[in-house]
Amino acid sequence: MARIVRVSAERAPPRERRNAMRIGIIGAGKIGTALAKQFTRVGYDVAVSNSRGPETLAGLVEELGDRARAMTAEEAAEYGEVVVISIPYGRYREVPAAPLRDKVVIDTCNYYPERDGHDPELDNDDTTSSEKIRAHTGANLVKAFNAIYWENLRDRNRPKGAPDRLAIPLSGSDEDARAVVAALIRDIGFDPVEAGNLGQGGRKHQPGTEVYGAEIPAERMSEIFRTS
């Protein structure tokens, strides 16, 4: 069972935002940075980390404001009630596993063999990258934010009901964990669309699928998933 904190920063009154969940981000690349900006914008407390050390993130933390702090990857993993893993898939074994066990963890990673090196299990479609990361961490893993271009994640948030509000697919095998991540997606201005469990569902929004990188609304994405 996932550790759940049901707080919607977008809908909470300002003084209640102090009780919003803490989010740790492992990996301060383009997706990790875009998420840090979105989460702090709506009132979440965020810890960002990278492989080079907290001191290299001083500029980003200054830009993000007083909701943000820089930490080591292990510290960010311990700090976050929800933790985002946003690193190249080929380095997932470097992620500190012990602090993530049983936590809600968001996996934004994609497998690119030309960058990550060939993984025979993934090349043969015996499993998925997210299932391997779940096995490493023991987390309640949800795959999300892997199929949206980072520029859209940074810039294309829209109010609920806006005709150009984009859909973001997610998949996971823990219902409560999926609910937490879906709420975060809504809070930052996008519509979550569930693809299914971590294995078969995750395959529906990995690189090469119809929804990967697609700029489409939730209704259209749901239709694609129903027929795929």
Q: Which residues contact 223 (CB under 8 A, 6 or more apart)?
A: none
Give the C-alpha separation, 73 to 50, whole Å.
Answer: 6
The SS3 of residue 197 is: coil
Q: Which of 13-17, 21-25, 37-41, 134-138 has the lowest mean pLDDT?
A: 13-17
Q: Which pLDDT value is given to residue 16?
A: 44
The SS3 of residue 168 is: strand
**Which is more confident, 15 or 177?**
177
Name the amino acid, one letter, at 12. A
- pLDDT (tens digit, 9 = 90+) per residue, 138-153? 999 999 999 999 999 9
Q: Which two tokens stand for residue 81?
A: 């009630």
Give the C-alpha separation, 149 to 143, whole Å.
Answer: 15
- pLDDT (tens digit, 9 = 90+) per residue, 84-130? 999 999 999 999 999 999 999 999 999 999 999 999 999 999 999 99
For residue 205, what is the DSSP state? T
Rg of the Cα atoms in the chain: 16
Q: Which pLDDT value is given to residue 51?
A: 94
Q: Which pLDDT value is given to residue 19?
A: 59
Give the C-alpha separation, 170 to 48, whole Å.
Answer: 22
Can you tell me the mean pLDDT for 34-56? 97
From residue 19, how far is each of 8, 12, 13, 81, 83 by CA, in Å? Answer: 10, 10, 11, 12, 17
Sign, Cα dihedral of 98, 101, 103, 107: positive
Q: Is the pLDDT of residue 2 over 60?
A: no
Q: Is the pLDDT of residue 14 over 50?
A: no
In 135-224, the DSSP E strands lie at: 140-144, 167-172, 191-196
Q: Over the chain, what is the mean pLDDT?
A: 93
Name the amino acid, one letter, at 20. A
Give the C-alpha separation, 115 to 111, whole Å.
Answer: 8
User: Edge-to-edge, what's the strand order for the sheet holding 68-70?
Assistant: 68-70, 45-49, 22-26, 82-85, 104-107, 140-144, 167-172, 191-196
